[in-house]
A and B are shown apart, each in its own frame.
Chain A
Amino acid sequence: MSQSVMVYTEIRNGVIHPVSYELTAKARELADKLVCDVCVVAFYDTLQEVPEIFFAYGADRVIAAQDQCFSLFNQEIHTKVLSEIILKEQPQIVLAPATTGGRTVMPAVAGTIHTGLTADCTGLDIEPESGLLLQTRPAIGGNIMATIKTPNHRPQMATVRPKTFKIPEKRRVSGVIQPFEVDDSMKQTAIEVLEWIPLESGSENIQDRDVIVSGGKGLKRKEGFKLLQQLADLFQAGIGASRPTIEAKWMDYPHQVGLSGKVVSPKLYFAIGISGAVQHIAGMETSDLVVSINKDPDAAIFQVSDYAFCGDLYEIVPKMIAVFSGLLSDRIDETESEKHVQ
């Protein structure tokens, strides 16, 4: 069946990234409105799961391209193979993760096959009268939401940030696995992958954390981040930082939250000593719960906070640590007592 909704999945070192399931489930929802099938594309060398796992999240078909050329990420090969599959399958929609991989491969595909691509969508739906994909994304630093259509070009393509959509319960359904042979011409590349250097543990991507503790220039000195680390340790939180602290070399670039750094959306975000430049707010305002501490009562960050503390962060943070560690030890006690009951 043609006219499918296609998902370009993300598989890193043999592990399927959860965003792949999030997008498969979203594709299912869109495909049900369009009455068409969901086709998942998986590029991998080794796989810790079986490709059939995608059926549980709504895929009808999995195009499985297993080849050694996918052992280390090569954006040129991904672009060629995905473009080839899209031209052959003629899907009406392609969804892809807005990760460094998806945000590299998808625009290259769009340039190759001449169609539109909408980056970082936070909402996707089908317009009932036209059957067109409605792609909603934040624009101008998240101050407005723009709804975008791709009226005349196919497929309609969108990237979506991880954790934008929920992963549903697994279903017991079956589907079709279609092996895809990567021929040698697609493996010709001007890119030689030399080395893969994983981040040290503890410095993993802050975008994957449920809690982020961020610091700004209000810390006044680099050592202020040590205090934030104590707060972060209570929640196994990641450390974020505003652009000025990165420029002052208080913290490394992978920790930068904002337009020119990472856009994060954790369950709990602490903005400590951050005044709230538009460029920073755009990087964190979709967080579930925002807590800020600033000595300036007019700080812009307070406008996007649920809990705003006005005062000296060096007084407030230690108090928070004291109260929260009590809270967390209560919780451990509860879990312990539950174990005893069992």
Chain B
Amino acid sequence: MKIAVLIKQVPDTDDVKLDPNTGTMIREGSGTIINPLDLNAIEAAVQIKRNRINPCSITVITMGPPNAQFALREALALGADQAVLLTDRKFAGADSWATAKVLAESLKKTGGYDLILAGEKATDGETGQVGPEVAAMLSIPCATYVTKIENHEENVVITRIVEDGFQRQRIHFPCLITVLSDLNRPGMPTLKGKMDSRRATLITLTAGDLDINPDELGLMGSPTRVVKVTTPQKTRKTKRYSGNGVEKGIVELAEKIKSSVLNR
């Protein structure tokens, strides 16, 4: 069995502070991490491999700048067998469609996966679109918002959580699954895993290695364009209460709730 895990390197949002004047993120000094939900995807692959009698290999794939290799090495330390770095200046500025295109072609190129796993969405772009787009480009079925995977020889039985309940679906291979944090608790790398991953050879693929029309790459190949970016005005006028002022504040709040929330 061959499993691929699609991962993304993202800014560590727990690190990031807000600039109180502009309301924008201060990225300087914050590190990068593997997108948290992608860690759940890696862990799912590791568990499937552990529980299978037949041979199983895990390939972890990312598109990003050269330093995204650190995310791949971390994934290797967590239990992936090989890692593919998709890096090329021509990939830069890709929207979800153009990102999915590169990932889909790299999956075709490195080939023959039964199961492709990914986090449901990344904490930076948070579109959640790349997974289903990749699946569509490969003409394979996709399940999203997955919180449970039961693995069988020819298929997986997944549980997806939706607004008003849970769906259980049996999906035949090959398929793509995007996962949520309820699925599992990501493992920790072993010391040996860390040492080995530092020395591991990564597979690097550039635009020339993939069968993609040049006008479908990166910013040029992206159907969507960001045309304007604005910083929303923080319109809230915060009323602060502390110490003896708290009780007065609660009464004021009660009046506000009565007039604006309950009065409909």
* Chain A residues close to B by CB (< 8 Å): 12, 72-76, 79, 99-101, 103-112, 114-120, 134-135, 138-153, 189-199, 204-205, 207-208, 210-211, 246, 252-254, 259-260, 267-268, 277-279, 281, 288-291, 297, 300, 302-311, 315-316, 319-320, 323-324, 327-328, 331
Contact = CB atoms under 8 A, between A and B. Distances in A.
B203 interface: no
B181 interface: yes
28 contacts: A75-B142, A76-B142, A104-B145, A107-B100, A107-B127, A110-B223, A111-B100, A116-B95, A119-B96, A119-B128, A120-B126, A141-B13, A141-B25, A145-B232, A148-B225, A150-B223, A152-B223, A190-B175, A197-B165, A199-B165, A253-B181, A278-B16, A278-B17, A303-B20, A308-B239, A310-B241, A311-B242, A319-B246
Q: How large is the interface on B (under 10, 10 to 19, 20 to 34, 35 or more residues)?
A: 35 or more
B223 A115 contact: yes
Contacts of B130: 107
Contact of A303 (B18, B127, B137, B225): B18
Given A152-B223, A278-B16, A316-B250, 13 more contacts: A75-B142, A100-B161, A108-B133, A110-B97, A110-B136, A111-B97, A140-B124, A146-B229, A195-B167, A253-B161, A277-B13, A302-B238, A306-B256
Interface string B239-259: 111110011011111101110
Contacts, number: 278
Nearest to B19: A143
Interface in B60-92: none
B58 to A, nearest CB: 22
Q: Top 7 A-B pairs ranked by shortest CB distance?
A: A111-B136, A116-B223, A111-B133, A116-B224, A107-B129, A310-B242, A107-B132
A259 B164 contact: no
B53 interface: no
A148 B226 contact: yes
Main secondary structure of the interface of A (DSSP, over half): mixed
Contacts of B17: 278, 300
Given A260-B181, A319-B247, A151 B261 contact: no
Nearest to B216: A114
A135 B95 CA distance: 14
B228 interface: yes
Given A190-B141, A259-B126, A289 B257 contact: yes
**Which residue, of A152, A252, A310, has the highest number of chain B Cβ atoms within 10 A?**
A310
Interface string B213-241: 00000000011111111111010111111
A294 to B, nearest CB: 10
A279 B14 contact: yes
A327 B18 contact: no
B163 interface: yes
Main secondary structure of the interface of B (DSSP, over half): mixed
A149 B225 contact: yes
A204 B123 contact: no
Contacts of B167: 72-73, 193, 195-197
Given A72-B167, A290-B236, A310-B242, A268 B261 contact: yes
Interface string B139-174: 011111101000000000100111111111111100
Nearest to A115: B223
Contacts of B228: 146-147
Contact of B163 (A99, A291, A297): A99
A143 B251 contact: no
A319 B250 contact: yes
Contacts of A204: 164
Contacts of B164: 12, 198-199, 204-205
A306 B141 contact: no
A144 B125 CA distance: 12
Interface in B90-117: 95-97, 100, 104
A194 B222 contact: no
Contacts of B165: 196-199
B117 to A, nearest CB: 16
B44 interface: no
A167 to B, nearest CB: 14
Given A110-B129, A111-B132, A143-B18, A210 B261 contact: yes
B229 A144 contact: yes
B25 A107 contact: no
